[in-house]
């Protein structure tokens, strides 16, 4: 038994930023910047953000002036949050062990983690100065040991977002650019006359930003597909319907394309949540985003029991999943697909977004089926190495390699094995001219 108390009016593919349309627009901007570099960057910045400064990169003097304008409490709060993010990232880094093992006598195999040399961080800011994204992208890259971390954020309605720049600077950005959208992503990825390209890009953004990263993937690395925010709440009859309503709206305000879904075992809770939302929305200062988001992408679904709730929730693979039930930790065992889990009423998605220390750059549009969110490990390449120190082991592997490669019809590969089998063992080389076979 499952039924909807409220359905989404539109599917996400049918929003104002419908996907095929976004794909085409983004491809055109990428091609233009590829062909014309800085001149094209400047034109797109003027067109989309009415922003054409002398230089997009902030100088040291400009950064100092901006830092001086940011209120002390804001700086103190940025520092507190950055400590939380850094602390958790460092613990996660510790969990990534480098290994070297002897798999056969004299055969040594290992893996190690090497940070990328240069990373680009996109810090969104079209609608809101999302300074918390600076901690998530820049600081985490630095915690991973990335030597060069550059960062872009757009101006907001022609203004410098002071607090965002402060967060970028305090997070340790080596270069800060006031540049937004596709033009920022492409500049960092491909480089221009004034920006050195990076090896990988990270950070959330709107549909255009996420699509630009997707199209550039391959040429450079990306963290993941982190587009418009989503929230899904699983609630039983122990949940407070007012808290559920407030939490759903907290994420609907990200933008008109942000889905907010409630799955509940209690029909009466579902009805109360809808009433609270209807009462809260008209007075919400950010209703321009939250109202269409809830109307077009808001859902309330009633299910028979919690097992069904978890199963249904898994099919959404939502970016954020909040569990407001009597036994919230149960979801750790029962759920598979989510970007981040928020267990119990003591925390909420907004804590994850802004203060608590887990990373808020998370998979959207179903990407949680195959990846988790941004974390320190995403900036590291796990690479392998090998060494064989025992001649007998090398000879044995050479014999197996010769046979294995010939099954695949790779004569050249087989010979690399043969040579070692001959040199370190007793095999001969029927394919080699005698004079050269054994130096
Ligand atoms: N998945 C995550 O982890 C996560 C986390 C935080 C925020 N977000 C999402 O980040 C997004 C932030 O979006 P935003 O718009 O406020 O800021 P943004 O910085 O992502 O995008 C602003 C830029 O979009 C470009 N743009 C605007 N309209 C355009 C058009 N028609 N064509 C081409 N480019 C255009 C402009 O250049 C502008 O600088 C939200 O959707 C939010 O939900 C996601
Ligand atoms: Zn949020």
Quote the ligand 2 centre to 40 CA distance (angstroms): 32
Q: Determine whether the annotation assigns residue 219 to a binding site.
A: no
Distance of CA 343 to CAs 137, 181, 238, 249, 332, Å?
Answer: 24, 34, 14, 18, 9
Q: Is the pLDDT of residue 435 over 70?
A: no
- Tell me the pLDDT tens digit for each residue of 185-220: 999 999 999 999 999 999 999 999 999 999 999 999
pLDDT band, very low/low/confident/very high, at 241 (cuts 50, 70, 90): very high
Is the beta carbon of 255 within 6 A of some atom in ligand 1?
yes
Per-residue pLDDT, 15 = 45
What domains appear along the chain, each with residue ranges and CATH number? 2-11+228-373 (3.40.50.1980), 37-223 (3.40.50.1980), 390-437 (no CATH)
Per-residue pLDDT, 316 = 98
Ligand nearest to the CA of 354: 2
Q: What is the atom index within ligand 1 of the atom nearest the CA of 180?
A: 39
Handedness of CA 368, 374, 377, 382 (dihedral sign): positive
Per-residue pLDDT, 424 = 87
Pick the catalytic residue from 253, 319, 360, 396: 319
CA nearest ligand 1 atom 38, residue? 181
Per-residue pLDDT, 439 = 45
Distance CA 124, CA 181 (A): 8
**Cβ neighbours around 64 below 10 Å, total:** 11
Is the beta carbon of 177 within 6 A of some atom in ligand 1?
no
- Tell me the pLDDT tens digit for each residue of 123-175: 999 889 999 999 999 999 999 999 999 999 999 999 999 999 999 999 999 99
Q: Please confirm, yes or no, whether 360 is among the known catalytic residues.
A: no
Quote the ligand 1 centre to 183 CA distance (angstroms): 12
Q: What's the first-to-final CA gap in the chain, in angstroms?
A: 78
- Tell me the pLDDT tens digit for each residue of 13-33: 444 445 789 999 999 999 999
- Tell me the pLDDT tens digit for each residue of 248-283: 999 999 999 999 999 999 999 999 999 999 999 999
Is the beta carbon of 229 within 6 A of some atom in ligand 1?
yes
CA nearest ligand 1 atom 21, residue? 126
Per-residue pLDDT, 436 = 56
In a mutational test of the pocket of ligand 1, which residue from 12, 20, 204 has the highest number of ligand atoms less than 8 Å from its CB? 204
Nearest to 219, CA basis, from 184, 258, 185: 185
- Tell me the pLDDT tens digit for each residue of 355-407: 999 999 999 999 999 999 999 999 999 999 999 999 999 999 999 999 999 99
Buried b (16+ CB within 10 A) or exposed e, 351-382: ebbebbbbbbbbbbbbbbeeebbbbbbbbbee
- Tell me the pLDDT tens digit for each residue of 214-240: 999 999 999 998 889 999 999 999 999
Q: What is the atom index within ligand 1 of the atom nearest the CA of 122?
A: 19
Per-residue pLDDT, 11 = 64
Is the beta carbon of 154 within 6 A of some atom in ligand 1?
yes
Per-residue pLDDT, 12 = 54
Distance CA 229, CA 322 (A): 14
Contact 227, 210 (CB under 8 A): yes
- DSSP label of 323: E
- Tell me the pLDDT tens digit for each residue of 410-430: 999 999 999 999 998 888 898
Residue 158 has which token pair? 């022609």
In a mutational test of the pocket of ligand 1, which residue from 23, 122, 124 has the highest number of ligand atoms less than 8 Å from its CB? 124
Q: Please confirm, yes or no, whether 345 is among the known catalytic residues.
A: no
Per-residue pLDDT, 14 = 44
Is the beta carbon of 361 within 6 A of some atom in ligand 1?
yes
- Tell me the pLDDT tens digit for each residue of 51-91: 999 999 999 999 999 999 999 999 999 999 999 999 999 99
Is the beta carbon of 354 within 6 A of some atom in ligand 1?
no
Per-residue pLDDT, 438 = 57
Q: ipTM more than 0.95?
A: yes
């Amino acid at each position: 038994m499952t039924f909807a108390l409220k359905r989404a009016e539109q599917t996400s593919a049918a929003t104002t930023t419908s996907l095929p349309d976004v794909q085409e627009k983004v491809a055109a901007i990428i091609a233009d910047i590829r062909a014309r570099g800085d001149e094209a960057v400047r034109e797109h910045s003027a067109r989309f953000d009415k922003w054409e400064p002398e230089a997009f990169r902030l100088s040291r003097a400009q950064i100092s002036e901006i830092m001086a304008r940011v209120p002390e409490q804001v700086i103190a709060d940025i520092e507190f949050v950055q400590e939380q993010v850094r602390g958790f990232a460092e613990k996660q880094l510790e969990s990534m062990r480098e290994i070297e093992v002897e798999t056969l006598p004299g055969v040594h195999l290992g893996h190690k983690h090497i940070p990328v040399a240069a990373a680009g961080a996109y810090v969104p800011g079209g609608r809101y100065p999302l300074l918390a994204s600076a901690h998530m992208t820049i600081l985490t890259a630095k915690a991973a040991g990335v030597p060069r971390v550059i960062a872009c954020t757009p101006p907001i309605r022609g203004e410098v977002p002071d607090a965002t720049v402060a967060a970028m600077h305090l997070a340790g950005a080596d270069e800060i650019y006031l540049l937004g959208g596709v033009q920022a992503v492409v500049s960092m990825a491909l480089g221009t006359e004034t920006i050195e390209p990076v090896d990988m890009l990270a950070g959330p953004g709107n549909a255009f930003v996420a699509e630009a990263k997707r199209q550039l993937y391959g040429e450079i690395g990306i963290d993941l597909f982190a587009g418009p925010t989503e929230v899904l709440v699983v609630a039983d009859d122990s949940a407070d319907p007012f808290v559920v309503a407030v939490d759903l709206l907290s994420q609907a305000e990200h933008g008109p394309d942000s889905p907010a879904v409630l799955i509940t075992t209690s029909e009466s809770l579902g009805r109360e949540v809808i009433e609270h939302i209807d009462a809260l929305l008209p007075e919400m200062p950010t209703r321009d985003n939250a109202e269409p988001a809830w109307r077009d992408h808001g859902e309330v679904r009633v299910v028979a029991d919690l097992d069904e709730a978890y199963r249904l929730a898994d099919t959404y693979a939502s970016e954020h999943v909040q569990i407001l039930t009597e036994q919230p930790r149960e979801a750790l065992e029962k759920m598979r697909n989510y970007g981040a889990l928020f267990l119990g009423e003591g925390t909420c998605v907004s804590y994850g977004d802004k203060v608590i220390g887990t990373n808020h750059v998370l998979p959207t549009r179903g990407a949680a089926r195959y990846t988790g969110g941004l974390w320190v490990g995403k900036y590291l390449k796990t690479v392998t190495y090998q060494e064989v120190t025992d001649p007998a082991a090398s000879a044995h592997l050479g014999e197996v390699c010769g046979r294995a490669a010939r099954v695949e019809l790779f004569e050249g590969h087989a010979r690399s094995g043969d040579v070692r089998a001959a040199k370190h063992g007793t095999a001969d080389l029927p394919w080699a001219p005698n004079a050269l076979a054994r130096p």
